[in-house]
Amino acid sequence: MSGWRNRWALPLTVEQAKGVSEFIKTASEHDLRQLGLASAARPSLGADLELLPIEQRLQCVQEYITSFQYNHTATTYFDQNKQRPLCRILSTARDIVRQGLPIKCVEAVFLGLLLTSGWTDLDRVPVGFKTHIVLAVRHPETGRWGALGLSRRAELMDKPLIYSSLADVLAAYVASYKQWWHAVLRIRIGLPVPHDVMYDGQVAWRQCCMKVAGEDWSVVSSKVNEHAVRADGLWAAFLADKKGFKP
């Protein structure tokens, strides 16, 4: 095996890369392990998760999402298309769980939706920035908000379930962007995602587009919280006429 390792110098030519690819396809797990190419251990989620308090459940889910690591390459391993029925998005999330490969922020949201499905004590609302997306979450019993997500930057990943409003969560993200010398121009807010894993309609990813740059945050905050209050009613209205939710 050491002979194969030392056969070529990096970077590889196209032909050499093809040879490596063919070798990996036919190599045994033992061979790959000797070369340091064995598949990474798959992340695991603790048992009896639903018996934990909501804060601990969310922390476990976020740790699970983070354990997949961020995909820093230009290659995507999973279907990132959001304009699909929810049931198919959740199918992609199951593929992510099975394969344990690095993911980007979109796949992290897919995972968040899968892992919190059936948690009727939790509302899930997608929130998008220019090149980033997270899953805002609300615990109706306490009215507290937080978020699940993954990013290159730790500050842009999740937010704990401690915020009194959706606007407060978004303000925390805006502050995190400023920390990295980025300005948030707009924020796109969706509608609550249903808990039915067999739902064959689409998720409302961008129901409300809020301009942030140059706006007084108190005005933005008021509009965001107004949208959050009306979200359930807006979702019911869209379901009633099926507008935009059946592929």
Residues with active-site annotation: 105, 132, 151
* DSSP code of residue 74: S
The answer to whether 54 and 122 have CB atoms below 8 angstroms apart is yes
Compute the distance between CA of residue 168 and CA of residue 51 in angstroms, rounded to an integer.
28
Neighbouring-strand partners of residue 124: 137
Residue at 210: amino acid letter: M
Compute the distance between CA of residue 150 and CA of residue 70 in angstroms, rounded to an integer.
7
Compute the distance between CA of residue 134 and CA of residue 207 in angstroms, rounded to an integer.
15
Compute the distance between CA of residue 109 and CA of residue 61 in angstroms, rounded to an integer.
11
Q: Is the omega angle on the peptide bond into residue 85 within 30 degrees of 0, that is, cis?
A: no
Widest distance between CA atoms in the chain: 66
CB count, 10 Å around CB of 106?
21
Compute the distance between CA of residue 204 and CA of residue 244 in angstroms, rounded to an integer.
8
Neighbouring-strand partners of residue 103: 70
Phi-psi category of 100—alpha, beta or left, where left has phi over 0 and alpha has psi -120 to 50?
A: left
Return the beta strands (E) in the chain as ranges.
123-128, 133-139, 144-148, 159-163, 186-189, 208-211
